[in-house]
């Protein structure tokens, strides 16, 4: 029997663990999965609603570490997770993605000599000002099994000197989740609730510190949205961090007066999938949304200078536009003038990544 501790902490982790836990439970004659939630995200809309939408079992353990500075958050996860790992000796710790909880859990496992499997290994933006890039580099340096979503990730790892036999190209597990839930998402009433017609609106998300923590940059982005709003309304589910900044920089009042920009509370997985998959254009600084729009063939503008997911640019519908108002406006208006184009699904983004992930873990345990 393999005892595997799976760790999640923040919103983008939940979509990645859901099919993996499912697959482990299917092999319950050989695998005992334990689910640990660090509590990095804790609001109903940022956490519980995803467990519900994605049918993820309730976490066996919740560390309830909450928000804090990077070091505080990382340290709190480490202290709490060390207790867990000492009380529940495990064969593997599975970590997903690139959030602080991912790195913190990996450090603890490495120090206790528990093998680490990293799902979504090898992605690199090359930008160390991004907290996630530090988390990726550290987690991959410690992992024993590096499960990659695309071939460019394998190349990054080989370049960093990771032994080839530790790397396994399994495909994109978030796309497993997307395929499994798209039908259910079609039953969401979000378009009716917001009075939207398919392809007649843009969807927006924004939460990166590099975009929202600087008043000048955030104001410039709102300027761009005002101009784009002349063409199509923009629906913007707002991350709590961004909500705080809009208040702090006195932008909420101005936005309230904008007729084409609709700020709403963060949406659950199914509502959000229904929203962006029916949009004409997505504007985002999220990582996962670049991948999801690629698979669905929805044009996506990423408000960043770089991406750790270059395949979404080379093969998909994604364009990097940075965060200056002129570039955002120009590219958005150009995208609205072009036909949306066809979806092209990258290699192994086929809905079966979770099977390959659990196969690889079992294989590496022999």
Report the catalytic residues: 207
Are 50 and 11 within 8 A, CB to CB? yes
For tokens 């092999």, the residue is: 27
Nearer to ligand UD1, 247 or 326 (CB): 247
Nearer to ligand UD1, 43 or 160 (CB): 43
Can you point out the beta strands (E) in 74-206?
A: 92-96, 115-119, 145-148, 167-169, 202-204
Nearer to ligand UD1, 64 or 244 (CB): 244
Nearer to ligand UD1, 99 or 191 (CB): 99
In DSSP terms, which residues pair with 93 in a beta bridge?
5, 116
Are 53 and 266 within 8 A, CB to CB? no
- Name the DSSP letter for residue 347: T
Nearer to ligand UD1, 131 or 229 (CB): 131
Inter-helix orientation angle 353-365/11-26, to 10°: 60
Minimum Å distance from CB 189 to ligand UD1? 24
Q: What b/e sequence results for 225-234 when a residue is b if at least 16 CB atoms lie within 10 Å of its CB, and e otherwise?
A: bbbbbeebbb
| Token digits of residue 290 | 């670049």
Nearer to ligand UD1, 55 or 244 (CB): 244
Angstrom distances, CA of residue 214 to CA of 187, 220, 266, 306, 346: 38, 10, 21, 18, 35
Nearer to ligand UD1, 229 or 240 (CB): 240
For tokens 């004409």, the residue is: 280
Minimum Å distance from CB 95 to ligand UD1? 12
Minimum Å distance from CB 279 to ligand UD1? 19
Are 218 and 325 within 8 A, CB to CB? no
Nearer to ligand UD1, 100 or 278 (CB): 100
| Token digits of residue 361 | 């873990």
| Token digits of residue 7 | 């760790």
Are 2 and 362 within 8 A, CB to CB? yes
DSSP of 3-33: EEEEEE-SHHHHHHHHHHHHHHHHTTTTEEE
Minimum Å distance from CB 139 to ligand UD1? 12
Binding site for ligand UD1 (CB under 6 A): 10-12, 40-43, 46, 67, 98-100, 131-132, 207, 239-241, 244
In 163-236, where does DSSP find H-type helix? 173-185, 190-193, 209-212, 215-228
Length of the chain: 366
Q: Give the count of alpha carbons within 13 A of 336, CB side only.
A: 21
């Amino acid at each position: 029997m393999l005892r595997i501790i799976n760790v999640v902490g923040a919103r983008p982790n939940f979509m990645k663990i859901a099919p993996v836990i499912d697959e482990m439970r299917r092999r319950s004659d050989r695998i005992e999965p334990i689910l640990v939630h660090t509590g990095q995200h804790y609001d109903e809309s940022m956490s519980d609603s995803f467990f519900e939408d994605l049918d993820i079992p309730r976490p066996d353990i919740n560390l309830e570490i909450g928000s804090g500075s990077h070091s505080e958050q990382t340290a709190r996860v480490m202290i709490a997770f060390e207790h867990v790992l000492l009380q529940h000796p495990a064969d593997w710790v599975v970590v997903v993605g690139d959030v602080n909880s991912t790195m913190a859990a990996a450090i603890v496992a490495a120090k206790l000599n528990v093998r680490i499997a990293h799902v979504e290994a090898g992605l690199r933006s090359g930008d160390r000002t991004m907290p996630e890039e530090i988390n990726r580099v550290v987690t991959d340096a410690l992992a024993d099994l590096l499960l990659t979503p695309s071939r460019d990730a394998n190349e990054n790892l080989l370049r960093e000197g990771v032994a080839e036999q530790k790397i396994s190209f399994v495909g994109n597990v978030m796309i497993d989740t997307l395929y499994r839930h798209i039908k259910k998402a079609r039953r969401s009433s979000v378009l009716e609730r917001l009075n939207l017609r398919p392809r007649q609106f843009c969807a927006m998300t924004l939460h990166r510190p590099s975009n929202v923590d600087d008043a000048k940059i955030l104001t410039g982005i709102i300027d761009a949205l005002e101009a784009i709003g002349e063409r199509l309304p923009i629906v913007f589910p707002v991350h709590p961090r961004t909500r705080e900044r809009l208040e702090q920089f006195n932008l909420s009042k101005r936005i309230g007066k904008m007729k084409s920009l609709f700020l709403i509370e963060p949406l659950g997985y199914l509502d959000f999938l229904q929203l962006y998959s029916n949009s004409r254009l997505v504007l985002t600084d999220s990582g996962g949304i670049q991948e999801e729009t690629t698979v669905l063939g929805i044009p996506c503008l990423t408000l960043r200078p770089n991406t750790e997911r270059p395949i979404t640019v080379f093969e998909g519908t994604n364009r990097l536009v940075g965060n200056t108002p002129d570039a955002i406006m120009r590219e958005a208006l150009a995208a609205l003038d072009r036909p949306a184009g066809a979806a092209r699904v990258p290699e192994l983004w086929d809905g079966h990544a979770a099977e390959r992930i659990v196969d690889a873990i079992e294989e590496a345990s022999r």
